[in-house]
Structure 1
Amino acid sequence: MIYDCAIIGGGPAGLNAALVLGRARRSVALIDNNRPRNAVTHASHGFITRDGVTPAEFRRVAYEEVLRYPSVHHLQTEVVSVSKLESGFELFDTSGQCVQARKLILATGVKEIFPHIEGFYPLYGKSLFNCPYCDGWELRDQPLILVSEHPTVYHTAKLLFNWSKDLIVCTNGRTSLSQEQTKKLQSKGIVVTEQPVAAFIGQQGQLEHVRFADGSEVPRSGGFVSPRFVPSTPFAEQLGCERTESGGITTDEIGRTSIPGLYAAGDASYFMPSQLVYAAADGSRTAMSVNMDLTEEDFEK
């Protein structure tokens, strides 16, 4: 069987794309390895009617809705290679199974690379996070720390100031802030330090102290750590896609990549902001583009 479209990735972008294509009566192979990036998150926020939903519940309801459409097939496996054919795409999984499709959507998301700091992972998703819009409300008015080596640290610090005025900004040994930016933050009562963080100290998921490289400690009950984002799969590189400056997949305004018949949706294309509602909307938009292109091809035969 040659599917109308294969979708790699069962996050909100891939699921919403499958929903739209299923409703358009397209045959779809929705391929997912069941290892969602937000698995450590206790609740997802900012999606109307789904605010506070757990990632597991979101996926359960989404798959239940998507698989009501008989032309959508869920393949729980891991794709290891993708190649372009004259008439579409060929995918192989870890067992050697082959899937062929006329069109392909990469909804593979990204991987987060966090600074190596002792004690981070036991607290991540509980009292340490990376997205202020996702978790700032839950940490409102608490003593917080922002650890970021990125040039965007100034912008993120300004955002966090909306949720808490008791804020320490740490560039973790980097000179990521200009003197003017540092003075502006300090004028708001924000503590700024370039000291590297040696450890996050807490128990049962709750941050209690932050230890710096010089041995000093400060009490904090929550914080945000900025990761570096990288593609979660090598497929865009394998297929020779054009890439954005930040490493995402370059697409046009409706999700088409530089490779004919190949589309990208969700975090895989724009990297940020990493929110359910953005990814789901992008999946819907891209699926409409796929259906439009298939319709044009079939109608003009």
Structure 2
Amino acid sequence: MLYDCIIIGGGPAGLNAALVLGRARKKVILFDEGKPRNAVTNESHGFITRDGIKPSEFKQLAVQDLKKYPNISIHKERVKDMKKEGLSFQIQTDNGQSFYARKVILSTGLRDGMPNIEGIHHFYGKSVFTCPFCDGWELRDRPLVVISEDERIFHYTKMIFNWSKDLVVCTNGKNHFTDEQRQLLAKNEIKVIEDGIKSLQGENGQLQRVIFQNGQEIEREGGFVATRLEQASTLGQTIGCEINEMGGIQTDKVGRTNIEGVYACGDLSLQAPPQLITAAAQGSIAASTIVGDLVNEDF
């Protein structure tokens, strides 16, 4: 069977793309490995009518929507290989099955590369987060720690300052501040600690203290950490997709990659803030583009 489109990745981008394509009467198959980046998160925010929803519930509701369309099928398995054969594509799953489609959407998302700090995984997604737009409201006005090991730290701190003025910035032994930036931080009464971090401590996922290698301790009630965003899948690179300077899959404004017939949407492009609503919007745009491309080819 030749599908109109294979979607690889069952996050908000892939799910919304499937909905748009399904409603356009296209034969669609979506592959979902079931390892979402937001698995550790208790609530998702910033999506109108779904603010505060559990990620698992959001996905369950999305799948229910898709099941109304008989031309959409969902497979809970991993795609391990992908190649172009003439004007179509072959993908192979972990169990050895092959599927064929005229178009492919990559919506495989990202992984968070965490700093090597003891205890950080106990608090990530509960009281330590990465996106202030997603979780800043819940931590508003609390004494927070900002942890970053790279050059984004100054911009990151400025953004988080919007939600809380009680900040301590920790570089974990790195130095990425200019003299001018240090002056601005001091002007806004933001303390900078550049010693290495030994551990984060607290109970039941709630951060209480940051312990440094030199024995210093500070009390904090939550925080934000700048993670290294990494591609969750290498399928894009395998098929030959261009990678942008941020490490994301390069697309045009409507989701086309440099490989004809391959589209990408959601967080993996790193061309928009990695948020639920922007990923879903990108999925809708890419799917609409595919519908137009298929119509033009077939008319």
State the TM bucket, normalised to the shorter chain. Answer: over 0.9
1:247 is displaced (CA, Å) by 0.8
1:57 aligns with 2:85: no
Q: Secondary structure at the match of 1:157?
A: helix
Name the structure 2 match of 1:41.
41
Q: In 2, distance between residues paired with 1:202 and 1:283?
A: 38
Residue 102 (structure 1) aligns with: 102
* Distance in 2 of aligned mates of 1:149 and 1:237: 27
Counterpart of 1:81?
Answer: 81
SS of structure 2 residue aligned to 1:185: helix
Deviation, structure 1 residue 270: 2.1
For residues 204 and 62 of structure 2, the distance between their equivalents in structure 1, rounded to whole angstroms, comes to: 31
Q: Would the aligned equivalents of 1:110 and 1:271 in 2 still touch at CA under 8 Å? A: no
The range that moved more, 175-184 or 15-24, is: 175-184
Match of 2:296 in 1: 296
Structure 1 match to 2:186: 186
Structure 1 distance, partners of 2:290, 2:86, is: 17
Supply the distance in 2 between the matched residues of 1:240 and 1:107 (Cα, whole angstroms): 16
State whether residues 89 and 104 of structure 2, in contact with CA within 8 Å, keep that contact through their aligned partners in structure 1. Answer: yes
> Deviation of residue 259 (structure 1)?
0.3
Q: How does 1:139-158 map to 2 (within 5 A)?
A: 139-158=139-158
8 Å CA contact 1:142, 1:221 repeated in 2? yes
Residue 233 of structure 2 aligns with an amino acid whose one-letter code is: T
Q: Contact 1:21–1:288 (CA<8 Å) still a contact in 2? A: yes
> Aligned AA for 2:210?
V
Q: Is the 8 A contact 1:229 1:271 kept in 2?
A: no
Q: Which residue of 2 aligns with 1:208?
A: 208
Shift of 1:87: 2.0
Q: Between the two proteins, what is the percent identity of the paired residues?
A: 50
Aligned mates of 2:253, 2:274 — CA distance in 1:
18
- Kindly provide the amino acid, as one letter, of the partner of residue 160 in structure 1: I
Q: 1:70 is paired with a residue of what secondary structure? A: coil
The answer for the alignment partner of 1:32 in structure 2 is 32
The aligned runs of 1:162-241 (5 Å cut-off) are: 162-241=162-241
Deviations 1:255-280 (A, max 9, x none): 00000000000011126411000000
Shift in Å at residue 158 of structure 1?
Answer: 1.0
Q: What are structure 2's unaligned runs of at least 5 residues?
A: none
1:260-279 correspondence runs (5 A)? 260-270=260-270, 272-279=272-279
SS across alignment from 1:92:
strand
| Residue 252 in structure 1 maps to residue 252 in structure 2 | yes
Tell me, in whole angstroms, the C-alpha distance in 2 between the residues paired with 1:280 and 1:234. Answer: 21
Q: Matched residues in 2 for 1:243 and 1:198: separation?
A: 35
- Paired positions, count: 299
Distance 1:176 1:155 in 2: 11
Match of 1:125 in 2: 125
Q: CA deviation at 1:204?
A: 0.6
Q: Say what the alpha-carbon RMSD is for the aligned residues.
A: 0.9
Q: Distance in 1 between matches of 2:220 and 2:168?
A: 9
The letter for the 1-side match of 2:123 is L
Dislocated runs of 4+, deviation >4 Å: none
